[in-house]
Structure formats: structure tokens, C-alpha cells
Structure 1
Amino acid sequence: MPNYNFSPQEMIVVAGARVLENNKVVFAGTGLPMVAITLAQLTHAPGIIPVFEAGAVGPTLNRGLPLSVGCSRTTSKAMYLQGLNAAFELAQRGFCDFGFIGGAEIDMYGNLNSTMIGQFPEAYRRPQLRLPGSGGASDMAASCERTIVIMSHEKRRFKERLSYRTSPGYLDGSPDARQRAGLLGQGPYRVITSRAILGFDEATRRMKLLATMPGETVASVQEHTGFELLVDDNVYPYEPPTQEELRLIREEIDPRGYFIGRKG
């Protein structure tokens, strides 16, 4: 296997930044989504308007990387700051083009678990592992026009059946399932992982492999997925990070390595 001089987290961040479009409103989760949004602002999408759960809308993130969605750095040169209710009202009124979130488990329809690991409902009070919970992720998945998910790609994370459904994707995959459930946004758009770029089939709403990350193949991606992936007719090898993208991440955005692991 080729020796690529970047970490899986750096690859995920670069792919996340590239998928974002200029002049779009992006509701950001904590961690890698914030790094990806900042990278997009510094490269091809300076007009991105970030929205943070604590209420900041439209900051430039030029005062250093925020450590959470409530960090004071999220307010730097913000268009306005009106609190949590105002941020989620913005999404519920249809003004957020993308919700950018993560999770511990995902199924073939893009539903996410960030609540607990164990057999629900028996293990809910005493799970094998208690996770952070929804935060604002469920609201973002329900209301933002499109959702981008970023996460590590492991068989134990890509599950046929989730331990708990925290954030809605396409629910059971049936036609108009989201609309019947009263959800506002279109649903999951992309899943960006350490191994692949994935989308969703328009007819079945099942997860579909679109591109393989450097060093991966269709077979290796499927091997690390706990359900059968659909495979696009035009699967392509994804371009690795450029030297400039890596420089921006390592020297300007996250020089202390709060969220980005180094070579790996």
C-alpha cells in the first residue's frame, strides 16, 4: 500500500471541506466539522455562513479554532448572536443548507446513533457504552436541507441495526418516510469516512459507494461495512489532500492538533 503522508482525520476534513459550496449556510457540529468549514472558507468557499448551536451566525473563525460550538471564538465577527433557540429556529425555517454532524453508528439509511451501545431497550439504563447523546444533532438532521456525516469507517460502526436511533436519516427507507414523520429537510446527502465517500440511492434511499479514499478499493470498503453497500456505476478514486490543504490544516487551522491526528 502506498505511504500517504497524511492522517485519516486530515483526509476526512479535506473531503468535508471540498463538498461544501460557497455562499451556503452550514450548521456546524463540534470537532472535525469546524475544521472542515474553516478550510473551505480559506480555499474555495469564503462566503460560507457557519451557524453554531450556541447562537453565533456567520463568524469568520479567524481568531483560532473553536474548541466547542459554545466557545467564544465562534462569535468572532458574527453577523448576530441570539442564542440557542434562534440558531435552531433558523434551521426550522429552512435557512440552513447543510447540517454537518458525526456519530458512533450509522445504518444503510443514514440514521445515526450517538446515544448508547447495547441492546435497546434492555440495555438503555445500563449500556455497554454511554455516548454523549444528541446535542443538537437530531434537530440538525431533522431540519437542515441536507446532512453531511463524517465518521471513522469500521464494521462495528456501519451497522445493519443501530443500538439506538439518535438522529434521523431516511428512517426505514420507505417512500416519503421523512415527510410522514414531519421532518423538514431532504435528509442525508454525503457520508465522508476514512475509507470512502458515500451517498444515497434516490429510489431505495440505501447507502451507495461513490468514491474510494487513497489506498482503498470497493472490496476493502465493503469489508469494513456491516451491511451491503450499493455501488455507483462510476466509482472513482478520491484525490488525496494537496500540500496547501495540509499546510492550512497543520499551520493555520489546528496547529496544536486539538482535533486532527498527525501522520497515521
Structure 2
Amino acid sequence: MNAYTKKEMMVISAARMITDRDIVFCGTGISMLAAVAAKHIYAPKSTIFFETGAIDSALEHLPLAVSDSRVMTGSAAFCSLVEAFSFMQNKKTSARIVGIIGAAQIDPYGNLNSTMIGDYGDVKQRFPGSGGACDLASFVNTILAFMKLEKRKFVEQLDYLTSPGWRPMGKSRETCGLRPQGPKAVITDMGIMKFDKTTHRMYLDQY
């Protein structure tokens, strides 16, 4: 019997991809766990940046969500939501930001759907939507995506494009006016996917 769960394995796999001086932009849930694990184990000089505006918090206790008041404890700065998202568009800071996001669907080029399942005119299931994921996927250099390895999640064509990957709508990122760098890796409960440097199509890297 393994001494760890699949979710814990995903958290540590993501944490290992974070290095010192990275600015880790994370939301609620497993992405927060990965950021905190990296800070405490692999990258003590990394900076955790919560989408609600807390920068480099002490994190003596794991917050329940990004809106938890504990994200402000001992923080180096606390800014507004507008200021927080402007860091992603700043060329100097965006190059150091690692964004950790998830979604309901992903296609072979790392495009993500976190909006809905079904046809837009006949929605079967709705989800919270982008949050900050689209901004991260559009502007920062390093994106890590968490996905459970299921056939319904890994699809050839998304029901809805929420966050751009390497080839949004079949076009290059530059054509769409985005930063050239697409997602770095997709971390699943069965292995880690990366993207071919030429075709930008997803492949199995580790399992």
C-alpha cells in the first residue's frame, strides 16, 4: 500500500517544478497546496502570490481559500485585485510567474475549458468559469495544469475555450495576440504530460 495518495503525488510533482525566485500565482485548492509544498520543501526563496492580492504571506497555517484572512498574515504586501492581475501583464514580473490552474476539459494543445459542458445553446453543466485562469494562460511564461486523467476530461475538441493553450482555436498564440509561451506541463493522477517543442501537441513525459 502506498504511503501517499494520488492527489498528494500530484501536489509534490508540481512543487518540484517550482524554483527559487519563482512567483507562484495560485488559487484555492490543490494549486495552493502545491505552492506551499514548494515553499517549504523545494523552493524556499519562491514567492507565493494569491489572486486576492496577498504577496509572500507567512503561511503559518494552510488557508482554506484565497479569501481566507490567513493569507494576509505576515504578507509583504496586500494589493487590490486589479493590481494583482496587473502583475501578470508586466513583462518583468510575468516572466517569473508560475501559474497553477485546473479545468473541466483539456485538448491536445493544452487549451482549457472551465466554463461549461455541452453546446452553448444547450448547456448540460456549468462551472465557475475562468477566475484568473485565462489571464494566467494568456500572459505568464509558465503554466502548470492539474487534471484528473479521465476520458471525459482529455478531449480532442473543447466544448468551450476558457483559457488558451498552445494553439487556441487552431491558431498560434502570436496570431491571437498572446505571449508566445504556452503551458509547460499537465500534472495528472497517473503521470505528467508535456508538449512537443515543434508541434506543441501533448505527450506523456513521466508516469
**TM range, smaller chain:** over 0.9
SS at 1:139 equivalent:
helix
Alignment of 1:131-210 (within 5 A): 131-172=127-168, 177-184=172-179, 186-210=181-205
Kept in 2: contact 1:41–1:48 (CA 8 A): yes
Give the CA deviation at 1:173. 8.2
Letter matched to residue 147 of structure 2 = M
Structure 2, unaligned runs of 5 or more: none
The match for 2:69 is 72
Kept in 2: contact 1:148–1:190 (CA 8 A): yes
> If the length of structure 1 is used for normalisation, what is the TM-score?
0.74
Kept in 2: contact 1:146–1:185 (CA 8 A): no
Q: 2: CA distance between counterparts of 1:54 and 1:29?
A: 9
Q: Does 1:37 align with 2:35?
A: yes
Q: 1: CA distance between counterparts of 2:38 and 2:157?
A: 34
**CA displacement, residues 174-193 of structure 1 (integer Å, 9 cap, x when unaligned):** 67x11221113611001100
Alignment of 1:48-127 (within 5 A): 48-62=46-60, 64-94=61-91, 95-96=93-94, 97-119=97-119, 121-123=120-122, 127=123
* Structure of higher RCO (CA pairs closer than 8 Å, 6+ residues apart): 1
SS at 1:108 equivalent:
coil
Give the CA deviation at 1:171. 2.5
Q: 1: CA distance between counterparts of 2:13 and 2:35?
A: 11
Q: 2: CA distance between counterparts of 1:30 and 1:135?
A: 11
Taking a change above 3 Å as real, the CA distance of residues 90 and 185 of structure 1, as seen in their structure-2 partners, is farther
Q: 2: CA distance between counterparts of 1:19 and 1:149?
A: 12
Q: 2: CA distance between counterparts of 1:21 and 1:142?
A: 21
Number of aligned pairs?
204
Kept in 2: contact 1:141–1:185 (CA 8 A): no
Give the CA deviation at 1:4. 2.0
Q: 2: CA distance between counterparts of 1:75 and 1:57?
A: 8
**CA displacement, residues 200-255 of structure 1 (integer Å, 9 cap, x when unaligned):** 0011110011001xxxxxxxxxxxxxxxxxxxxxxxxxxxxxxxxxxxxxxxxxxx
> If the length of structure 2 is used for normalisation, what is the TM-score?
0.93
Q: 2: CA distance between counterparts of 1:68 and 1:92?
A: 24
Taking a change above 3 Å as real, the CA distance of residues 185 and 93 of structure 1, as seen in their structure-2 partners, is farther
Kept in 2: contact 1:144–1:185 (CA 8 A): no
Structure 1, unaligned runs of 5 or more: 213-264
Q: 1: CA distance between counterparts of 2:169 and 2:185?
A: 16
Give the CA deviation at 1:5. 2.8
Letter matched to residue 106 of structure 1 = I
SS at 1:160 equivalent:
coil
Letter matched to residue 191 of structure 1 = V
Q: What value does the CA root-mean-square deviation take over the aligned residues?
A: 1.5
Letter matched to residue 72 of structure 2 = T
**CA displacement, residues 53-90 of structure 1 (integer Å, 9 cap, x when unaligned):** 1111121322x112222221112222211111111111
